[in-house]
Structure 1
């Protein structure tokens, strides 16, 4: 009972702190130091904070185990909290995907559209990477479903090193094509703070390396 309480508390703290810091970063970058009016917070900016929270939580979920394999002393409460962290990250990804779908129009994301309203090459690649990443993450989330736990082949595939690296590759592609042009112009960063897409990319790139080195099939 004591171990279960510690696990539950670890997951709650990690999720709460990650969400607070991520949303605070979005507010600081776009509202406090940037030109975005506060009227855009409930949907446009909150969506960015939710996206950052989701990517960081998924990074934690993917990396705690491999880090432990590499000899880093990851607390037991963190290791046992991976399921809650992963499922929360996936739910936040779904919220981000739905909000982004409603926001994705030339008036808001003009850099991803041609004058005739069609997607640019980079816009299409970013959306493709995002869709594939969502599908792969959905498959990973299925591994937590009780009725599928007895399917050993499915669980072995979903939790394999190749599957994880595929999920991360699609996510990295989505983030890269979504924001790399803005990454190249630090002078345009609001208050000198890196874009959220870049912060998310760095987290996922570190997770990719950690999983490449520490995940066991």
Structure 2
């Protein structure tokens, strides 16, 4: 029987969107009783951030499986977590390069560049999360981020913003898989999520509906990115040595 393949990225993305949005609605609106008028930006922003993390992790899982099955597949250009053409055009506009458009006849020297594109297909929700967060950055929405009569950012809030901005830059500047920026991105993402929600991770009794914070899920998935990246690198090196 032929293995069923996910040929359209929209199906995978739909599952991620439904999972993240449904989880955010249940946790914040149903159990935490956040008013529904805060859904379009405040609650949805949390869901969008988690969507980006899940898509990043999914792309690495797909890459790891492909390396184990067929490490030199010239058609290894479109992962299950890819995005529609419009999203790729947005990414191209931001970083000035063509994403996910390599041909199947690309040379072997181009394959590291194509494999990095697997890691980049979640850029759109990441950018949307940044824009939504900036629009919400005020004391009324995040009172813990500000202090003093002038409403200055706290030290932890500054770290949250810095790790988020540098993480986005590291993700977009990765030119080769397993480069410094390739590893820096999930580490910054882990730090970003941890600083944001660390104080709420250790009190399960206070979790609305017993549902862990999205920041905790994001940090665990970001740490898993490093694990899958290391596993993919070991598999690639092992297969390369034994194919000589």
TM-score normalised to the size of structure 1? 0.79
Describe the shift of the 1:119–1:169 C-alpha distance in structure 2 as closer, same or farther (beyond 3 A).
same
Q: 2:189 aligns with which of 171, 176, 189?
A: 171
> Aligned equivalents of 1:188 and 1:79: distance in 2?
44
Query: For structure 1, which runs of at least 5 residues remain unmatched after alignment?
Result: 1-5, 141-154
Question: Greater CA deviation, 99-108 or 109-118?
Answer: 109-118
Structure-1 residue corresponding to 2:37: 39
Cα 1:187–1:115, aligned 2, differ >3 Å: closer, same or farther? Answer: farther
Question: Among 203, 208, 211, which residue is 2:229 paired with?
Answer: 211
Q: Distance in 2 between matches of 1:78 and 1:199?
A: 29
What's the TM-score, normalizing by structure 2? Answer: 0.71
Report how many residues are paired. Answer: 194
CA distance in 2, matches of 1:50, 1:18: 10
- Report what 1:93 is aligned to: 126
Could you tell me which runs of 5 or more consecutive residues in structure 2 were left unpaired when the two chains were aligned.
84-118, 238-244
**Residues 83, 46 of structure 1: CA spacing in aligned structure 2 closer, same or farther, 3 A cutoff?**
closer
List structure 1 runs of 4+ shifted beyond 4 angstroms: 76-79, 85-88
Whose radius of gyration is greater, 1 or 2? Answer: 2
Distance 1:79 1:197 in 2: 30
CA distance change for structure 1 residues 78 and 43 in 2, over 3 Å: closer, same or farther? farther
The structure-2 alpha-carbon separation of the partners of 1:42 and 1:88, relative to structure 1 and needing over 3 Å to count, comes to farther
- Partner of 1:113 in structure 2? 146
Q: Residue 129 of structure 1 aligns with which residue?
A: 163
Q: After TM superposition, give the deviation of residue 18 of structure 1 in Å.
A: 0.6
1:178-217 alignment, distance < 5 Å: 178-215=196-233
CA contact (8 A) 1:137 1:167 kept: yes
Provide the alpha-carbon RMSD of the alignment.
2.8
Query: Quick check: which one's helix share is greater?
Result: 1
> CA distance change for structure 1 residues 112 and 40 in 2, over 3 Å: closer, same or farther?
same
